[in-house]
């Protein structure tokens, strides 16, 4: 996103006010400004853009080589240097023998920008460490399987985190479809595009929403959605090290490495380690 420098400086009270700010305060202000700009863009889009219908999206299935619910790690990517070349899957770097959670961030989750931005936003808003961790991990399931990613993601981390963190990850998927004014959470505009402008969530998602809304950990799951919505800013870079201590306290890293601890989900981590295995 390009920055309107003058508007940013005006919003902070002018050049003199900016000169008196610490480096960190300036970085925070820039981030807030970018998020506000992103928000305004989304509102404008809803007014002006034409979104596909459910039927139109369904008709596209016949034209696809892969299914939309396929995990991100299986996806082919275009070569930016050669945009006309057919998309290819990149060769994945080797993982350490006993991989830890952050090794997956380094070697398998690409930039992980969306996850790190969600977690950073939650941290800056003063959310609990468990919510920050839930935000950092909330879309991990999508690397394995985008369809039902909240459920895959919760299952993937369940043996290693508190029940509350797994709950927040599992139910953020259903809660994303339901606004909550108490948390200033609105239906995401990008869902008009992804699901169709006339999409109605199926009964099992509606039931999951009702269940979560009446649960004692509703807030934790809801906070994942509020920090999720605004966390798609390409201009903000967050260092994963910012979350090492929180993960150290709330993610029980198995000594044998993720994928090799004999847990009921070890195979899911192994698939992330080697998605090129033929069987």
- Our separate counts of H helices and E strands in the chain read 15, 0
Nearer to Fe ion, 130 or 228 (CB): 228
Nearer to Fe ion, 111 or 274 (CB): 111
109 binds Fe ion (CB under 5 A): no
The DSSP code sequence of 214-270 is: TSTTHHHHHHHHHHHHT---TT----GGGGHHHHHHH----TT-TTSS--TTHHHHH
> What gap in Å lies between CA 171 and CA 173, rounded to an integer?
5
Q: Which of 38, 166, 228, 258 binds Fe ion (CB under 5 A)?
A: 228
Contacting range for Fe ion; rule: CB under 5 A; set: 34-42, 136-144, 190-198, 265-273 = 136-144
> Binding-site residue total for Fe ion (CB under 5 A)?
2
139 binds Fe ion (CB under 5 A): yes
- Ramachandran assignment for 145, one of left (phi > 0), alpha (psi -120 to 50 degrees), beta (any other): beta
158 binds Fe ion (CB under 5 A): no
Contacting range for Fe ion; rule: CB under 5 A; set: 7-15, 32-40, 139-147, 246-254 = 139-147
Closest-by-Cβ residue to Fe ion is 228
Least spacing, CB of residue 231 vs Fe ion, in Å: 7
For residues 226 and 185, the answer to whether their CB atoms sit within 8 Å is yes
Burial bucket for residue 63 (CB in 10 Å: 0-12, 13-18, 19+): exposed
Nearer to Fe ion, 196 or 261 (CB): 196
Contacting range for Fe ion; rule: CB under 5 A; set: 14-22, 25-33, 135-143, 232-240 = 135-143
C-alpha closest to that of 150 among 121, 133, 127, 172: 172
Contacting range for Fe ion; rule: CB under 5 A; set: 6-14, 29-37, 132-140, 214-222 = 132-140
What does the DSSP 8-state code read for residue 181?
A: G
> What gap in Å lies between CA 121 and CA 31, rounded to an integer?
10
> What gap in Å lies between CA 135 and CA 140, rounded to an integer?
10
Least spacing, CB of residue 80 vs Fe ion, in Å: 24
Contacting range for Fe ion; rule: CB under 5 A; set: 71-79, 225-233, 237-245, 267-275 = 225-233
Nearer to Fe ion, 221 or 247 (CB): 221
Nearer to Fe ion, 220 or 228 (CB): 228
> Count of CB atoms within 10 A of residue 267's CB?
10
DSSP three-state, residue 52: coil
Nearer to Fe ion, 142 or 259 (CB): 142
Residues in contact with Fe ion by CB under 5 A are 139, 228
């Amino acid at each position: 996103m390009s920055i309107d420098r003058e508007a940013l400086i005006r919003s902070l009270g002018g050049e003199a006010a900016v000169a008196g700010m610490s480096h960190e305060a300036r970085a925070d202000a820039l981030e807030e400004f970018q998020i506000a700009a992103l928000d305004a863009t989304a509102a404008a889009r809803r007014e002006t853009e034409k979104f596909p219908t459910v039927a139109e999206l369904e008709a596209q299935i016949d034209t696809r080589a892969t299914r939309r619910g396929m995990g991100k790690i299986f996806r082919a990517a275009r070569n930016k240097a050669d945009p006309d070349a057919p998309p290819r899957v990149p060769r994945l770097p080797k993982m350490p023998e006993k991989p830890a959670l952050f090794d997956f961030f380094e070697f398998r989750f690409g930039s992980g920008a969306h996850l790190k931005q969600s977690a950073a936003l939650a941290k800056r808003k003063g959310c609990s460490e468990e919510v920050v961790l839930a935000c950092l991990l909330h879309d991990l399931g999508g690397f394995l399987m985008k369809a039902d990613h909240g459920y895959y993601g919760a299952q993937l981390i369940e043996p290693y985190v508190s029940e509350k963190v797994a709950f927040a990850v599992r139910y953020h998927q259903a809660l994303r479809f339901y606004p909550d004014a108490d948390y200033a959470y609105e239906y995401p505009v990008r869902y008009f595009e992804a699901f169709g402008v006339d999409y109605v969530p199926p009964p099992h998602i509606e039931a999951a929403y009702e269940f979560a809304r009446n649960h004692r950990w509703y807030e934790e799951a809801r906070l994942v959605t509020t920090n999720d919505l605004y966390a798609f800013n390409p201009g903000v870079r967050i260092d994963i090290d910012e979350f090492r201590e929180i993960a150290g306290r709330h993610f029980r890293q198995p000594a044998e490495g993720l994928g090799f601890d004999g847990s009921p989900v070890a195979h899911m981590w192994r698939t992330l380690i080697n998605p090129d295995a033929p069987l």
